């Protein structure tokens, strides 16, 4: 059967199974899909987004997937590439999607199977390339019957959403196309066919939500909830993507709330200086820790969760929960809390008082973090010191519900691209704040094709001229030459010029001027190079 017929069948089934965004990178082998997707977009079935760099395309798709999840309507986002090295360029985003639990469908075009291992141009073994990251893998050989598309797409979409597995994440479809790669006639997509209905056994929950804030994924009551008795000195630890219910439960139970900035739970009442308080010995009296989301930011929390005498309860809506030390005695989808006793309230007050008593002179990066926290647009926090500056200084506030980060694997890559996809998906202004090396890693993510829409996206570079985080690690003790060349790695880079080079506006500001610069509305693509020196 023709490549055109297979491409049209796949696109039809993607749209039928709820895919609304497809990111496309140019290529000839994937051309049958490009033609079919263009027709599908013209028919209003879905939106396409064209990116030239597949590494960027992958993270852009991840940002789109996160946008759907943040809106409480998780959907699979597909990304289409040609064969060869293009496929490998998607790997970082596939890994982040796997560890963040986001539904990304990677569709890689391949050469006919008989060309494998023959020296054929741009031909390699693509199936299995992402190792065990995909939740499902499907292969469609060249000249396969297009009727096969329906079943495979239904399976892949269900696996990506975790409909039956409660384990959402990336999936991989490798589809081979033989010539001709151009359509054999016009196509006007009409009515969408009915999708395969895939429903979970209980029928109640529907697809689990990806691990992102603003998604109420942790019902605090309900018949299936595990009831946690009051009267135990408990801490609530809200890691990335914990969601606002973590804050609500902590408030209901009078538990001190230790919420990372991208938890969605760093809202009113959160303990700000918890790292300091843990270090000062308040942790010694903890009897129980209830963990929400994916905490990664601090050693003291990890140590606390590894202490033998501390009871650890993990609340997780998906099959992949965080319990590094293997200490959890209960892993549950939902908890119910009892009204607090006088001792619970006294325990909370002890933490609040200690928190209020901490005085510290903020570092320039922390001052930048406070200024950014004071804004109202969506905020994507970069890895490394950026997210940690926020974690150690910003108060619990409603803004905490509009902060996200790529904490699946905490890479310094793909952050600008993720923000670009997020802004496109939300249709709202987004600000990404990140280190100078992280920015250098993904300058291309800010670029836009001539024929792609402009978005409201601001890149804020916290510029300390190199990887500042290494100065707080044991490598700070390496000699200055060793440290500068192999760890800090400052770059010959003009951030303003780089931003301007992709057609965005840019300016350099000092920390003192940052609040003023942030007061201007985010319009189009822009950059702020914040000089932390």
234 contact choice in ligand TPP, Mg ion, none (CB below 5 to 8 Å, kind-dependent): none
With contacts defined by CB under 6 A, name the span among 118-126, 221-229, 344-352, 467-475 that binds ligand TPP. Answer: 467-475
CB closer to ligand TPP, 425 vs 467: 467
Q: How far is CA 369 from CA 374, 389, 504, 512, in A?
A: 9, 6, 23, 12
CB closer to ligand TPP, 240 vs 464: 464
Minimum CB–partner distance for residue 85 and ligand TPP (Å): 18
Minimum CB–partner distance for residue 57 and ligand TPP (Å): 17
The single residue among 332, 438, 458, 526 that binds ligand TPP, judged by CB under 6 A, is 438
For 128, what's the count of Cα atoms within 13 Å in the CB-facing half-sphere? 2
CB closer to Mg ion, 10 vs 434: 434
12 contact choice in ligand TPP, Mg ion, none (CB below 5 to 8 Å, kind-dependent): none
Indicate the length of the chain as a whole number: 533
| Closest by Cα among 166, 133, 102, 169 to 425 | 102
- For residue 372, give the 3-state DSSP assignment: helix
37 contact choice in Mg ion, ligand TPP, none (CB below 5 to 8 Å, kind-dependent): none
Mutual angle of helices 54-70 and 415-426, in 10-degree steps: 40
| Contacting ligand TPP within 377-436 (CB under 6 A) | 383-386, 410-413, 435-436
In the bound state, the residue with its beta carbon closest to Mg ion is 435
The answer to whether residue 435 forms part of the interface with Mg ion (CB under 5 A) is yes
With contacts defined by CB under 5 A, name the span among 154-162, 202-210, 290-298, 459-467 that binds Mg ion. Answer: 459-467
Number of shown-chain residues binding ligand TPP (CB under 6 A) = 16
| Closest by Cα among 76, 99, 69 to 23 | 76
Q: What residues form DSSP beta bridges with 240?
A: 294
Minimum CB–partner distance for residue 96 and ligand TPP (Å): 10
Q: What is the DSSP string of 409-469?
A: T--SSSHHHHHHHHHHHHTS-EEEEEEHHHHHHTGGGG---TTSPP--EEEEEEE-SS-GG
CB closer to ligand TPP, 2 vs 296: 296
CB closer to Mg ion, 21 vs 391: 391
Minimum CB–partner distance for residue 463 and ligand TPP (Å): 8
In the bound state, the residue with its beta carbon closest to ligand TPP is 435
| Contacting ligand TPP within 88-147 (CB under 6 A) | none
**How deeply is 462 buried, as exposed, middle or buried, from its count of CB atoms within 10 A (0-12, 13-18, 19+)?**
buried
63 contact choice in ligand TPP, Mg ion, none (CB below 5 to 8 Å, kind-dependent): none
With contacts defined by CB under 5 A, name the span among 24-32, 60-68, 213-221, 466-474 that binds Mg ion. Answer: 466-474
Minimum CB–partner distance for residue 432 and Mg ion (Å): 15
106 contact choice in ligand TPP, Mg ion, none (CB below 5 to 8 Å, kind-dependent): none
CB closer to ligand TPP, 242 vs 437: 437
Residue 507: which residues within 8 A CB-CB, separation 6 or more? Answer: 496, 517, 527, 528, 529
Output the 3-class SS for 43-66: CCCCEEEECCCHHHHHHHHHHHHH
Q: CA-CA distance, 54 to 57, in Å (whole number)?
A: 5
The single residue among 84, 92, 382, 468 that binds Mg ion, judged by CB under 5 A, is 468
The single residue among 328, 437, 498, 518 that binds ligand TPP, judged by CB under 6 A, is 437
Output the 3-class SS for 286-298: CCEEEEECECCCC
Minimum CB–partner distance for residue 490 and Mg ion (Å): 8
**How deeply is 158 buried, as exposed, middle or buried, from its count of CB atoms within 10 A (0-12, 13-18, 19+)?**
buried
- For residue 202, give the 3-state DSSP assignment: coil
| Closest by Cα among 532, 266, 283, 241 to 398 | 266
| Closest by Cα among 321, 427, 387, 373 to 71 | 427
With contacts defined by CB under 5 A, name the span among 54-62, 314-322, 456-464, 523-531 that binds Mg ion. Answer: 456-464
Q: CA-CA distance, 492 to 230, in Å (whole number)?
A: 56
Minimum CB–partner distance for residue 297 and Mg ion (Å): 17
Which residues bind to ligand TPP, rule: CB under 6 A? 383-386, 410-413, 435-438, 464, 467-469
Which residues bind to Mg ion, rule: CB under 5 A? 435-436, 464, 468
């Amino acid at each position: 059967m023709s490549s055109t017929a297979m491409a049209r069948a796949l696109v039809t089934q993607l749209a039928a199974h709820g895919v609304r965004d497809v990111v496309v990178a140019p290529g000839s082998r994937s051309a049958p899909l490009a033609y079919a997707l263009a027709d599908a977009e013209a028919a209003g079935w879905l939106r396409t987004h064209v990116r030239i760099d597949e590494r960027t395309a992958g993270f852009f798709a991840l940002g789109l997937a996160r946008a759907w999840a943040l809106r409480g309507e998780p959907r699979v986002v597909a990304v289409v590439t040609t064969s060869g090295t293009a496929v490998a360029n998607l790997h970082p985003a596939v890994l982040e999607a796997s560890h963040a639990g986001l539904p990304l469908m990677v569709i890689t075009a391949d050469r006919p199977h008989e060309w494998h291992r023959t020296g054929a141009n741009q031909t390699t073994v693509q199936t299995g390339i992402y190792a065990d990251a995909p939740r499902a893998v499907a292969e469609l050989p060249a000249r396969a019957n297009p009727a096969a598309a329906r079943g495979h797409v239904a399976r892949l979409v269900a696996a990506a959403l975790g409909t039956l597995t409660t384990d959402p994440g990336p999936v991989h479809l490798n589809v081979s196309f033989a010539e001709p790669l151009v359509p054999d006639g016009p196509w006007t997509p009409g009515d969408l066919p009915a999708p395969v209905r895939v429903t979970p056994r209980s029928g109640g929950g529907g697809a689990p939500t990806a691990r992102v804030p603003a998604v109420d994924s942790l019902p605090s009551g309900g018949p299936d909830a595990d009831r946690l008795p009051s009267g135990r000195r408990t801490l609530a630890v809200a890691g990335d993507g914990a969601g606002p219910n973590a804050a609500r439960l902590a408030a209901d139970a009078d538990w001190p709330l230790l919420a990372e900035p991208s938890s969605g739970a760093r809202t009113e009442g959160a303990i700000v200086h918890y790292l300091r308080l843990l270090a000062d010995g308040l942790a010694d009296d903890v009897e129980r820790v209830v963990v929400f989301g994916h905490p990664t930011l601090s050693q003291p929390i990890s140590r606390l969760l590894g202490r033998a005498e501390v009871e650890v309860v993990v609340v997780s809506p998906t099959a992949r929960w965080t319990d590094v030390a293997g200490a959890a005695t209960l892993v549950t989808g939902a908890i119910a809390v009892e009204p607090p006793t006088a001792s619970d309230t006294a325990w909370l007050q002890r933490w609040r008082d200690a928190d209020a008593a901490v005085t510290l002179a903020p570092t320039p990066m922390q001052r930048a973090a406070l200024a950014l926290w004071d804004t109202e647009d969506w905020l994507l926090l970069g890895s490394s010191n950026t997210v940690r500056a926020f974690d150690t200084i910003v108060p619990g506030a409603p803004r905490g519900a509009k902060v996200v980060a790529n904490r699946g694997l905490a890479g310094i890559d793909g952050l600008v691209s993720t923000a670009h996809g997020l802004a496109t998906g939300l249709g709202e202004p987004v600000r990404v704040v990140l280190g100078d090396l992280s920015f250098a890693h993904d300058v291309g993510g800010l670029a836009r094709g001539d024929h792609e829409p402009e978005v409201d996206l601001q890149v804020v570079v916290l510029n300390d001229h190199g990887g500042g985080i290494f100065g707080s690690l044991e490598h700070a003790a390496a000699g200055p030459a060793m440290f500068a060349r192999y760890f800090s790695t400052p770059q010959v880079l003009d951030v303003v010029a780089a931003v301007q080079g992709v057609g965005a506006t840019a300016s350099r500001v000092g920390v003192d001027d940052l609040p003023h610069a942030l007061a201007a509305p985010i319009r189009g693509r822009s950059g702020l190079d914040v000089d932390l020196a």
